[in-house]
């Protein structure tokens, strides 16, 4: 995925969460995808999502909205789906390539993984 760079997260993307808020229906400027060497899809096949970077590693939780650009030929991302960023590489002065993997919603929100039992 490709995202706009954020001053708040500059140099500390890895280990942070990105949460998809909503899919957008709009065309992408071709240079967003074509200037990032690791984007192996055509600009016309790009899907755009309104998303939120969430600072999970700092002392206080901070977040910032951003657009993420993904390969539109792959499965759609569900709204609310959290991802943890594993790798970040700059591709232009405005955009960054992110390698991220989806995590279960409970892991991002700190909820238990399943039913909990209360001792008697």
CA distance 4 to 2: 7
pLDDT tens string 3-25: 988 888 888 889 888 999 888 87
Query: Any idea where the domains of the chain sit in the sequence?
Result: 2-107
Q: Which residue has the tokens 């709204």?
A: 79
CA distance 62 to 55: 5
107: tokens are 């892991």
pLDDT tens string 36-90: 776 777 878 888 899 998 876 666 677 888 888 888 888 888 888 889 999 998 8
Helix (H, G, I), strand (E, B) or coil at 105: helix
> Is 0.85 surpassed by the pTM of this model?
no
């Amino acid at each position: 995925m490709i995202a706009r760079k954020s001053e708040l997260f500059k140099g500390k993307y890895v280990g942070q969460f990105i949460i998809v808020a909503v899919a957008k229906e709009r065309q992408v400027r071709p240079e967003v995808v074509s200037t990032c060497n690791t984007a192996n899809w055509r600009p016309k096949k790009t899907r755009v999502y309104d998303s939120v970077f969430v600072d999970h590693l700092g002392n206080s939780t901070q977040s910032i909205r951003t657009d993420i650009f993904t390969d539109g030929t792959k499965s759609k991302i569900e709204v609310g789906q959290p991802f943890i960023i594993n790798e970040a590489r700059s591709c232009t002065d405005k955009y960054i390539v992110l390698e991220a993997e989806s995590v279960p919603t409970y892991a991002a929100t700190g909820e238990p993984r399943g039913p909990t039992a209360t001792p008697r």
